[in-house]
Amino acid sequence: MSQNTEKHTPLLQVIDLHTSFKTDKGEVKAVNGVTYTLEEGKSLGIVGESGSGKSVSAYSIMQILDGNGHITQGKVLFKGEDITKYTPKQMEDFRGRHCAMIFQDPMTSLNPVYTVGNQIMEAITTHNKVSKEEARKKAQEMLELVGINDAPRRLKQYPHELSGGMRQRVMIAMALVSEPSILIADEPTTALDVTIQAQILELMMELQKKLGMAIIIVTHDLGVIAQMSDEIVVMYGGRICERGTAEDIFYNPCHEYTKGLLRSIPSVSNMKKKLVPIAGTPINLLNMPKGCAFCARCDNAMKICLTQVPEEVRIDKTHLASCWINIRDNKYLHEEEAEVKA
């Protein structure tokens, strides 16, 4: 593919990913053509409301979808290799060794009948040929790494004996045993209190610096996204509305949905002003509109929005949006056209 100059291969590329679920009521297209890139050691935030497909897009990377769900189209390239073509055996190796995941509720994702130590050691022995004693030592090191004091005692405890924040630390320890290059965190702090959330986010950033891994953080919380991400993907109705650097998204939102989202949250600047909510109700994935998914709730919807899905256009070097209004007003695009004409 690449010619003379060595082409830079990003760590992870998701290209035109489609995922759907077969249900009694019909096919639910949870993810409809999602494209993004994750560079080594960077943080990517995926933000959206419930049903936007943000979690499913992350589950698709790991291929841990429910039985009735499958990737229908698109590629996921890990260091240039398409992992959707992997055999189940290869995939097993990919999970854990190269890419690990932590979930929203650490109580339901830890096994209540095994001790914490057992579960971490299982993660270690699955991917490495080590003796039980070595695994125990490694497990203890991992607990210390994630800031759990008194590790030898904690190893013998069961998940119910730990607090929510502690359980999430155990999950992180488990995810990181093989030093994966990607950590996917699906709403990692949603179930936690703010002070504990601050501890966990701080820990994740610290570990990222120490181990140099890339993080995909999936959340609905714009505050968490602002703090954690270098780049942000905004999703609605299974599609990407807008993506760019954190600064692009927060200071120069271009998609009507992103703008609406930022107006509807209380922040320091609009404290005494009335919030501007987004009218209407979230989209029903069984009944997707023909055009832009957001058009029914958009104040500035045009005729074309109802009938055609907008293409993604470049706003500037790092910033892309899929909105007809941007296509109409896009200076970058018009400049390019003018150049071509000239």
Partner 1 sequence: MSSEYLVEVKDLKQYFPIRTGFMKTTLLKAVDGVNFGIKPGETLGLVGESGCGKTTVGRTLLRLYKPTGGEIYYDGNLITDQNMIQYRPKMQMVFQDPYSSLDPRMTVEEIIGEPLDVHKLYSNAKERREKILSLMELVGLNAEHATRYVHEFSGGQRQRIGIARALAVDPRFIVCDEAVSALDVSIQAQVINMLEELQEKLGVAYLFIAHDLLVVRHISDRIAVMYLGRVVETADADELYDSPIHPYTQSLLSAVPIPDPNIAKNSKRIILEGDVPSPLRMPSGCAFRTRCRFATEKCAQECPPLTDRGNGHMVACWNK
Q: What are phi and psi of 246, to 5 degrees?
A: -55, -40
Q: Which residue number, 64 or 275, has a Cβ lying nearer to partner 1?
A: 275
- Of 271 and 342, nearer to partner 1 (C-beta) is 271
Shortest separation between residue 298's beta carbon and partner 1, angstroms:
12
> Smaller CB distance to partner 1: residue 3 or 50?
50
Nearer to partner 1, 104 or 181 (CB): 104
CB 275 to partner 1: min, Å: 4
Least spacing, CB of residue 149 vs partner 1, in Å: 9
214 close to 182: Cβ distance less than 8 angstroms: yes
Query: Nearest-CA neighbor of 289 among 266, 308, 273?
Result: 308
To partner 1, the closest distance from the beta carbon of 234 in angstroms equals 12
Q: Rounded to whole angstroms, how far apart are CA atoms 34 and 236?
A: 11
State how far the Cα of 147 lies from the Cα of 199, in Å rounded to an integer.
10
Q: How far is the CB of 330 from partner 1 (least distance, A)?
A: 24
Residues forming the site for partner 1 (CB under 8 A): 49-50, 163, 165-166, 193-199, 201-202, 220-227, 229, 246-247, 250-251, 260-268, 271, 274-279, 281-282, 297
Nearer to partner 1, 83 or 240 (CB): 240
